[in-house]
Each structure stands twice: as structure tokens, then as C-alpha cells.
Amino acid sequence: MTDNNTLSGRVAVVTGATSGIGAATARRLASAGASVALLGRREDRLKGLADEIGTAAVPVAVDITDQDAVYAAAATIRSALGPVDLVVANAGVMLAAPFESAQTIEWDQMIGTNLNGLLYTARAFVDDLLATAADGKAADLVLVGSVGGHQVFPNYAVYTATKAAVAHLTRGCGQTSARAAYGSRTSSRASSAPSSAPGCSTAPSARCSPGCFRPCRRCPRRTSRTRSPTPPPPPRA
């Protein structure tokens, strides 16, 4: 894969790289010249993506909800590629259910992946990022969020709560890293699928529900005439 060399010499980590946004991000980073560590739970998919990308990619199967496993993966990546200077914490789970009838095991799954997994990932590589920035080089921590971090959708109370936490974490990490390293950059990016349609995503970790308002192939009951509902006007004082 070739595009340009704007990221030549950089070492990137992408979590949730087995499909969807994570896989696309990994491809793009590699095409720009970066070496990319592909993190995810499904080893076969990671190896398939690594074969597609070529020698610039290293697949590392890991459950990011397991802190020790994430730290072990970080050590493996450093041995294979060297210090990391770009982290895209993308892995996430989006499960819809009414709050009053939702299974708490699904809450644990979303909190464990969307928040704890992101924390473990950021912590595992933060020393690399700060050291790189202190040397005057580019260092980036990208925490993939969602418009759900700023807007609540029907049947997504816990999911949007985890993404609101990501938004606050981004700001907090940015303040800390800016003081510590004078130039390390922390940013949050809203993933496109939940931004336009909560519940619509090609990623297996997303589950469509009655809270989904956008027509898509996974929702044959939707039609091209379906529109997102217009919010009611605010009440008068």
C-alpha cells in the first residue's frame, strides 16, 4: 500500500483494528508511511489485515479490557517496532437497550471497552508519547469518541455516558500532556457511524435497534425517506 510518506518513520497503534473504522484507520496510516500495530481480539482478522497492508503492519491479538494484557501487548510492540508515537484508541462497543430493561452485563461490556480499555491503552503508551514530544517530535494520542458524547439518543444512555467520559478524558489528558511534554497532542475524533446514526455501523460490535433513524443495509425495514427526528422546541420560560 502506498500513498505518501507524510508519516514515514512513525510508529502507530490502532485498537479495534479488526474491522470498520479501526481497520480503515490502520490502512490509511500505513499508506502514509507509518508502521502500524494492529490490536484487536480476533487474531485471524488481524493477520488478514496485516497481510493486506504488508511489512509495515504487526498484528497483536489482545483484549483491551484486560490491563495486564494491554501492557504485555505494548511491550511486544516496542520490541517489534520501537517506541510508539501515535496511538488511536478506537475500540468500542455500542449496545442499545432501554435503560429499565437493559442487561447489566452489557453495561459492563461497554464501560469495560469504551472507557476502561481506552484508559489502559492510553496509559500503556503515554510514557512513549511524552518522551517523543519532549524530544521535539510529533506525538499524538487520538481517543475515538462519538457525537453521543455530546448528545443522548433513545436506548443509548450507557453508551453515550461512556462517550461523554471520553470527551472529558481527552481534555484532561491534553492539559496534563501539554504541561509535561510541551507539544504532545491529545485529541478526540467522533466516529462517523454513531455520529449520523446511533445503532448503524458495519462493525460487529454495533447493534441496530429502534433507536436507529438512518436507513442502512442492516436495517431493511428502513426506507430512503426515513429522516432523523426533529427535536422539539425548547419550552418557553
By annotation, the residues acting in catalysis are: 159
Cβ–Cβ < 8 Å for 175, 191: no
d(CA 150, CA 161) in angstroms, rounded, equals 9
Cell triple for residue 122? 492510553
d(CA 176, CA 131) in angstroms, rounded, equals 14
Sign, CA torsion 111/88/228/214: negative
Q: Which residues contact 6 (CB under 8 A, 6 or more apart)?
A: 32, 33
Q: Which residues contact 205 (CB under 8 A, 6 or more apart)?
A: 16, 92, 93, 94, 113
